[in-house]
Homo-oligomer: A and B are copies of this chain.
Amino acid sequence: MRSNLPKIISIHCLLVIICFAPYENIMSQSDLSSPSFNNTLISVDKNIAVSDWSLTASDLGLEGDWSVNMVTLRGGKQEGVKLITMDNGALTFTVIPTRGMSVHTVEKGTLRLAWNSPVKELIHPQFIDLEANGGLGWLDGFNEWMTRCGMEYAGHPGMDNGRMLNLHGRIGNMPASEVEVIVDNEPPHRIRIRGKMNEVYFNGPNLELWTEISAEPGSAAVRFEDQLTNLSQKEQEFMVLYHANFGSPLLEPGSQLYGSIKKVVPFDNFAAEDIHHWNTYGGPINGIAERVYCIYPKADSQGNAHFLLQNSGGDQGVSFSYEVEQLPYFTQWKNQDSDGYVTGLEPGTGFPHNRSIERKYGRVPVLAPGGERVFRIDYLLHTDKNSVTAVRNKLMNEMSTVEISKEVISK
């Protein structure tokens, strides 16, 4: 029988390694010649999944009062879910590595990009069965501000060439295999939360998605910059919807949507009946059906589309811009029902029909073997009237030329 003493010591060392190794990495990479401060929080390659972690500007010897931390959630259906919170000194956002790097909330003072889903917990994918309930299992976990739909398929559940597709695909319920926090070494020291998922099965797609959400310290802007790669040696269809969902305070009776838009087409007859109010919002109504509008964005000279959602008083809003070529369609989802009052403003590679329909209308793009696509969206939070007005004024002209369809979208 050996003494336990050395064993106890080795356990201490193990704990230190587990808890602090990433932190040590930071220290060793704070060398000025390093291109960035790179902190691995989760890594299949390195066999790491940090439980709790934090980083501040001063840890890196930088100015500013920003911070990033990650915690592990406990209890119920949240058990084991990782949650990253980034506070850049001006706004905070939360990222859920365990749920496909979805962004739960962005906050800047009283302005929140978020909504009040009846689902309150951040549901671990182990408790989600995407094909359950006729392919609606995705709704069991739906509560984030921003969740990506895709990547092999997105849209409504149903059969496509003999195969059942679940609502909005698999990427939003897939834990990230690699998660890193990168702080640019050069000013303005942009802080980047990056995560990778692989949507792959044998004899199926082999899509790799590197997501990035980032912000500069002190800025009111948040940027998504995702890269999708087809690792297969075959052509691969894909679909993506950036399902961004807005409730209070931006959504309220009198809220309005502005955008650089060519055409608005109602999804169905119920949406068609209200088409002349497509860009304004009513208050919550118990039991009302959703209205969906299929929007064709218009690119400016740089190729970008621009949108603004503002509250009723026009003193809070969010504007966003992205390249139309990458995300040529835009879905406005008006869900006025009081159990989950929300509007989805969703740039995408298509509309949210089942893939079988989207394919028929040529809205399912294909990646060549080894091919890549980048999706970049810039969000800007507006917390005063001047800021909202400035954006709205730019978009006002655009709105006068929007073509309103008298027909519902074909399917």
Contacts and interface: CB of A to CB of B under 8 A. Distances in A.
B74 A286 contact: no
A398 interface: no
B134 A163 contact: yes
A206 B139 CA distance: 12
Contacts of A340: 202-203
A117 to B, nearest CB: 6
Contacts of A49: 74-75, 79
Interface string A362-396: 00000001000000000000000000000000000
Given A133-B163, A134-B162, A162-B134, A75 B118 contact: no
Contacts of A240: none
A233 interface: yes
A268 interface: no
A43 interface: yes
A287 interface: yes
A409 interface: no
A62 interface: no
Interface in A248-302: 286-287
A198 interface: yes
Interface stretch (A84-92, A120-128, A305-313): A120-128
B175 A77 contact: yes
Nearest to A132: B131
A27 B4 CA distance: 13
Contacts of A136: 201
A73 interface: yes
Interface in A1-19: 1-2, 4, 7-8, 11-12, 15-16, 19
B19 A76 contact: no
A205 to B, nearest CB: 9
A129 B17 CA distance: 34
A96 to B, nearest CB: 14
Contact of A44 (B46, B78, B286, B369): B78
B27 A1 contact: yes
Contacts of A42: 74-76
A178 to B, nearest CB: 7
A303 to B, nearest CB: 34
Contacts of A130: 129, 132
A174 B74 CA distance: 15
A184 to B, nearest CB: 24
A76 B178 contact: yes
Nearest to A45: B75
A118 B206 contact: yes
Contacts of A178: 75-76
Interface of A: 1-2, 4, 7-8, 11-12, 15-16, 19-20, 24, 27, 42-44, 46-49, 71, 73-80, 117-121, 125-127, 129-134, 136, 139-140, 142-143, 162-164, 166, 174-178, 197-198, 200-204, 206, 231-234, 286-287, 337-340, 369
A-B pairs with lowest CB-CB distance, top 5: A76-B177, A49-B74, A126-B126, A44-B75, A139-B202
15 contacts: A1-B27, A7-B19, A44-B73, A76-B175, A76-B197, A79-B80, A117-B202, A118-B202, A119-B201, A125-B127, A127-B175, A133-B164, A133-B204, A140-B200, A234-B286
